Structure 1
Amino acid sequence: MKNYYFDNSTTSFPKPKEVSEEMYNFLMNVGGTYGRVNTKRGKETTQKIEECREILAKKFIGTKNDANIIFTSGATRSVNDILIGLDLHDCKILISTLEHNAVLRPVYKLNKNKNVEYEIIPSLEGGLIDIDALKNIIKKDKISLVIVNMESNISGVIQPIDKIKEAIGDIPLLIDATQAVGVHEVKADEWNIDFITFTGHKGLLGPTGTGGFYVKNPAKLNPAYFGGGFGDGYETPFSVPEIYEAGTPNTVGIIGLLAALKNRPIWNITIEDLVNTINKIENLNKYKIVWSKNKDTQGFVFSITTDSISMSDLAHKLYEDYNIECRYGFHCAFLAHNFYKNSNGAIRFSFSPYTTKEDLKYLINTLGNELW
């Protein structure tokens, strides 16, 4: 029986075959280190890592400044690096209603340890940020930073980042683009974004342990950790990206990520297909659907919930009886579930270029069965 993988918001599967091939080749035949080396293998490794940085910048982040793409282990590390590097204290910041714990928990620590007050920006029914409410907040308060989840990992709602930045003006904006990069267009330069965090193993289809962040103005961001690097003496020379990448990088992971960036599959489904799927599931009158309520602001993820059965029991039944892999619970985003009033959590379905229209039909038919 075919396996139906609908858990791409957790990590994408499958990957392009070139990802494992290039990682294997690197480990078995290249194996060089990154940086200032005079060996052939070292130069090849460095060239590939810088090629990955350049492709990320120009094709996926939307900036001409590829040196301002910083490699980390992923989005969670990137958020922490930025919040630590900004040295926030005794100030106020804003976050959206749909933030992942990768943002919420570091912000909570800043609140407890650095006297950083945070306020949640009101959202409209489907989850879009209320721009008028945002404007009113920044009129009455001095805000040091605004953080926005570009695409919700619960509902798939996509925020109008350009309008949000226009509304807040010179206030720095940090975009968590974990779910969006590789799936939707990101325009760092055009939108004048200050910080963008991303991961490599979701929409970019690369291996886990890869990702990073974009910083528009490195002069305004201190490094979060130190060590290694070039130069003599106690102080780390300020050179971008090196100042933010102390230590040996995940070379084999970045080689795999580069392969994913260069071997992008074509999507088999469209947003229209997804919205049609949502509507048909909604017409079953068995589930509450958590989505943006608008195809123009919808990504390739949505959730369902019901009071008729626990989310864990339903997810186990979908897997054991129908070979459907999905994610249940609160998805590391209880703030978002609170907004959508999902007191029992939800089951999330998230898709990739490898998802087919037949897969979506199977999901609809399965959810229409007697599952409890």
Structure 2
Amino acid sequence: MSLFPTYNRFPLTIVSGEGTNVTDDKGNTYLDFVSGIAVCNLGHRPPEVQSALEKQLGELWHVSNLYQLPKQEQAANLLTEATNLDYVFFCNSGAEANEAAIKLARKHTQRETIVTFKQSFHGRTFATMSATGQEKIQQGFGALLPTFEYLPFNDEKAVNELEGDDIAAIMVEVVQGEGGVVPGTKAFLEAVQQKCEELGALLIIDEVQTGIGRTGAPFAHQLYNLDPDIVTSAKGLGSGFPVGAMLGKEKLVDAFSAGSHGTTFGGNPLASTAVCATLETIFDESFLEDVQSKGEWLRSQLEEDLLPLSLVKEVRGKGLMIGIQLEEEAIPLVHKLRENGLLAVVAGPKVLRLLPPLNVTKDEMTKAVSIMKQVLQEHSSLQNV
């Protein structure tokens, strides 16, 4: 084994996938309600994205960002047309998008402090690890960057009491993903926006996991009528092709002039092709309405079947981003679900997280709920023996 052991890997080798289904090297099939952790928002190998990439593979893979890239312009236009933002910087991941957001905020405001929230997750580079409000992510790496402050999530009072003339931005997730699938309240998120206006700070919304239709809107902040200065995106942006993006308002454009930031691979022809093919499908209004209705149906079924169990405390989320809060550790149940043909993942120690493809069918959701009910019932029965 020549890989650094940076992942606790499951005993599963997936060799093929199509739609919501994947197959392992032993021929077993599974319903994939992980989707690469909110990456495969159109399922595995969506035909519209695959055909576009195959065509692009026969034309051009990569050229430098020093040249004009029409497909990149098209991808940027799709993002700005779906938001109140004006410019896009393409990179390769969510962490890189958040790095760009942090740099842009500090350069534009000429201030240094970025306020984030406890239990947030913004990445594992040094700046984004420092922005992340979780000690387990930060342990062992020595002194963090000192220009980050952390407030309690969903605490309006803490936001309202925030003061300082060196605050460049407040950075927030509309729904904390790795922190437990915890939606922000409308009052809290509005307080964050108001405080940014009061302090002359920028509002940065990390939509790496919540964006690209996952919550039933192009971006989750739109469900709350928020008006961010910067939005970051990745994961579902390219249907599995590595790509990230930072979107910003027109007033910020001068701070990211030529030479101020860059990337070798960001937004290259292959990445931009994947983005265009993905967004042209997901940003369709009827598609997004369908995601909202599926999410409401799935949460209601999970509440009906699972909340009666003493093991289950709460079912929460937005759209097809769902967390099931348990009374005990969730990872043993992830293993049991896998053994019964359903892939899920945790979001913190006691939360089961479901992230099915956005085009999941009702039959597939019904099957997933049935598997969950059976596994959790059996587990509860064993615990009560």
The answer to whether the superposition gives a TM-score over 0.5 is yes
Cα separation, 2, equivalents of 1:48 and 1:220: 23
What is the CA RMSD across the aligned residues, in angstroms?
3.4
Structure 1 unaligned regions, length at least 5: 38-42, 124-128, 223-237, 293-297, 332-336, 338-343
Shift in Å at residue 317 of structure 1?
1.8
Paired AA for residue 334 in structure 2: A
Shift in Å at residue 53 of structure 1?
1.0
1:181 and 2:211 aligned: yes
Cα separation, 2, equivalents of 1:11 and 1:133: 33
Shift in Å at residue 345 of structure 1?
3.8
| TM-score (normalizing by structure 1) | 0.72
Shift in Å at residue 55 of structure 1?
0.6
Alpha-carbon distance change, 326 to 77 in structure 1, aligned in 2, over 3 angstroms: same
User: In proportion to residue count, which structure has more strand?
Assistant: 2
Is contact 2:327-2:350 (8 Å) kept?
no
1:245 and 2:262 aligned: yes
Is contact 1:89-1:114 (8 Å) kept?
no
Cα separation, 1, equivalents of 2:319 and 2:316: 9
Alpha-carbon distance change, 159 to 49 in structure 1, aligned in 2, over 3 angstroms: farther
Cα separation, 1, equivalents of 2:254 and 2:371: 52
- Counterpart for residue 55 of structure 1: 78
Shift in Å at residue 252 of structure 1?
0.8
Q: Secondary structure at the match of 1:263?
A: helix
Is contact 1:6-1:350 (8 Å) kept?
yes
Alpha-carbon distance change, 96 to 14 in structure 1, aligned in 2, over 3 angstroms: same
- Counterpart for residue 78 of structure 1: 97
- Counterpart for residue 11 of structure 1: 39
- Counterpart for residue 365 of structure 2: 360
Paired AA for residue 52 in structure 1: A
- Counterpart for residue 202 of structure 2: 172
Q: Secondary structure at the match of 1:302?
A: strand
Cα separation, 2, equivalents of 1:325 and 1:316: 9
| TM-score (normalizing by structure 2) | 0.69
- Counterpart for residue 270 of structure 1: 294
1:218 and 2:252 aligned: yes
Identity %: 14
- Counterpart for residue 232 of structure 2: 197
Paired AA for residue 207 in structure 1: G
Cα separation, 2, equivalents of 1:107 and 1:353: 29
Structure 2 unaligned regions, length at least 5: 1-27, 133-137
1:149 and 2:149 aligned: no
**Cα deviation 1:123-155 (Å, max 9, x = unaligned):** 4xxxxx2334311223x7753321101222132
**Cα deviation 1:237-288 (Å, max 9, x = unaligned):** x34xx75334354321221111111233733643321330231221233323
Cα separation, 1, equivalents of 2:322 and 2:78: 29
Paired AA for residue 143 in structure 1: I
Alpha-carbon distance change, 283 to 345 in structure 1, aligned in 2, over 3 angstroms: closer
Shift in Å at residue 106 of structure 1?
3.2
Cα separation, 2, equivalents of 1:300 and 1:351: 7
Cα separation, 1, equivalents of 2:75 and 2:110: 35
- Counterpart for residue 100 of structure 1: 121
> How many aligned positions are there?
314
Paired AA for residue 229 in structure 2: D
Q: Secondary structure at the match of 2:194?
A: helix
Is contact 1:305-1:346 (8 Å) kept?
yes
